[in-house]
Amino acid sequence: MDQKFKVGIIGATGMVGQRFITLLADHPWFDIAVLAASARSAGKTYEEALGGRWVMTSPLPEKVKSMVVYDAVADLKKIADAVDFVFCAVDMKKDEIKALEEAYAKAECPVVSNNSANRFTPDVPMVIPELNSDHIRVIEAQKARLGTKRGFIAVKSNCSLQSYVPALYPLDAKFGVKDVLVCTYQAISGAGKTFERWPEMIDNVIPYIGGEEEKSEKEPLKIWGKMENGAIVPADSPKFTAQCLRVPVSDGHMAAVFVRFENKPTKEEILDVWKSFSGRPQELELPHAPKQFLHYFEEDNMPQTKLNRELEGGMAVSIGRLREDTQYDYKFVCLSHNTLRGAAGGGVLLAELLCAEGYITPKNKLS
Ligand SMILES: NC(=O)c1ccc[n+]([C@@H]2O[C@H](COP(=O)([O-])OP(=O)(O)OC[C@H]3O[C@@H](n4cnc5c(N)ncnc54)[C@H](OP(=O)(O)O)[C@@H]3O)[C@@H](O)[C@H]2O)c1
């Protein structure tokens, strides 16, 4: 890139917002220009607004400490004018988020969102960049609906499925995936929490995460969807069934997967597909693209959350324990970092893709 993009982080004080700060502090293409959160934080310096909530293991970057936090709602126009695009990760009601994201888009400010509110808006692409990067073409139809020149919304999918969908997608292309049963074991940072703020999770498992099983079953079908008449039409297969459990882990979602194929491959054929798989981010050599997206571990006791979640900067997916099953064809486990690949890192990679493909341009480059 010959010019840096000015970015805003909406929800900068939250768990995902803090991840954005760490990922963007030294980004080769992006400069943090605006931080925004709720009216509670607005007007304070970022350090004051955090008030001890910084939970990243790396120190709070000097350059953001004294930045004054904006009100994401009241200062929308000012923010939209000051940046080339925003990342959005906020804890608000779904209809409020939908309205907020659309208001930024209509103010000609592209939105790269981590929220679920717009995931099923038909002309909003929901993208895992290695899998369905072609879905970003639907943005033209969205801009026509919104009546914008450069404003639009693009979203990333829920964090739970970023472990197992990448493993299944390339297998489906070759062997046809029919049925998938998945159990996820999800970290507490997925709820924006730490053990300090959620002591009930120590030595505990909670067998319920509101809305997560529906998302884990439904969102993959949009990833598998096809673009038709200015919309992404979700696929009707593979069929997914999911159970999602909250486990006492700080970061990293694991999934136990059972899969049935149209044409059952050999174990070697599956391993070959995973080993050779790469997507558009690798082709474009995007800054946050992992070199090897899917890593297979031969050892019986791998991957492990604590050992492998940070693989390739937390942007790769770890897979292990592939073996035949008595009821399905195969079973295996997958692991991905929920606030890196599953949230902020996935958002940054999507923004890199949108910039590299010309959907986001620096404003002063516009005619
Ligand atoms: N954590 C994950 O692993 C993960 C993964 C994928 C997606 N997500 C999604 O990302 C979003 C944020 O999650 P999180 O875990 O970062 O939540 P969080 O830690 O609770 O942070 C929420 C953020 O939203 C801001 N906010 C709350 N009310 C607001 C309002 N009325 N106007 C503007 N900003 C407001 C908060 O600002 P104040 O500090 O001023 O209150 C804070 O910055 C959610 O939609 C979540 O579903 C999270």
- Is residue 189 within 6 Å of ligand 1 at its C-beta? yes
Higher pLDDT, 290 or 15: 290
Which of ligand 1's atoms lies nearest the C-alpha of 41? 40
User: How confident is the model at residue 367, as a pLDDT?
Assistant: 35
Domain count, the chain: 2
What are 50-73's pLDDT values in tens digits? 999 999 999 999 999 999 999 999
What are 142-155's pLDDT values in tens digits? 999 999 999 999 99
For residues 227 and 283, membership in a common domain is answered with yes
Q: What percentage of the chain has pLDDT greater than the value 90? A: 97
Q: Which domain holds residue 239?
A: 161-337
User: How confident is the model at residue 3, as a pLDDT?
Assistant: 79
Task: Tell me the one-letter amino acid at 92.
Answer: M
Short-list 95, 108, 112, 115, CA closest to 146:
108
Q: Out of 109, 135, 244, 253, pick the active-site residue.
A: 253
Residue 334 annotated as catalytic: no
Residue nearest to atom 41 of ligand 1 (CA): 38
For residues 333 and 244, membership in a common domain is answered with yes
User: How confident is the model at residue 140, as a pLDDT?
Assistant: 98
Does the structure show a pLDDT above 50 at 135?
A: yes
Q: Which residues pair with 6 in a beta bridge?
A: 31
The stretch 104-120 carries a mean pLDDT of: 97
User: How confident is the model at residue 8, as a pLDDT?
Assistant: 98
What is the value of pTM for the model shown? 0.97
Short-list 36, 227, 14, CA closest to 114:
14
User: How confident is the model at residue 199, as a pLDDT?
Assistant: 98
User: How confident is the model at residue 363, as a pLDDT?
Assistant: 84
- Is residue 89 within 6 Å of ligand 1 at its C-beta? yes
Residue 215 token pair: 């998302």
For residues 205 and 110, membership in a common domain is answered with no
Does the structure show a pLDDT above 70 at 169?
A: yes
Which of ligand 1's atoms lies nearest the C-alpha of 19? 16
For residues 152 and 168, membership in a common domain is answered with no
User: How confident is the model at residue 364, as a pLDDT?
Assistant: 66
Does the structure show a pLDDT above 80 at 365?
A: no
For residues 227 and 269, membership in a common domain is answered with yes
Q: Which positions ≥6 away from 52 have C-beta within 8 Å?
A: none
What are 265-317's pLDDT values in tens digits? 999 999 999 999 999 999 999 999 999 999 999 999 999 999 999 999 999 99
For residues 241 and 323, membership in a common domain is answered with yes
- Is residue 314 within 6 Å of ligand 1 at its C-beta? no
Q: Is 83 helix (H, G, I), strand (E, B) or coil?
A: coil
Q: What are phi and psi of 71, to 5 degrees?
A: -90, 115
Report the CATH number at residue 279: 3.30.360.10
For residues 51 and 113, membership in a common domain is answered with yes
Does the structure show a pLDDT above 90 at 177?
A: yes
- Is residue 346 within 6 Å of ligand 1 at its C-beta? no
Report the CATH number at residue 54: 3.40.50.720
For residues 224 and 330, membership in a common domain is answered with yes
For residues 167 and 305, membership in a common domain is answered with yes
What are 238-249's pLDDT values in tens digits? 999 999 999 999
For residues 104 and 10, membership in a common domain is answered with yes
Residue 253 annotated as catalytic: yes
- Is residue 18 within 6 Å of ligand 1 at its C-beta? no
For residues 104 and 239, membership in a common domain is answered with no
For residues 267 and 278, membership in a common domain is answered with yes
Distance CA 79, CA 178 (A): 46
The stretch 107-131 carries a mean pLDDT of: 98
Listing DSSP states for 183-200 in one string gives EEEE-GGGGT--TTT-GG
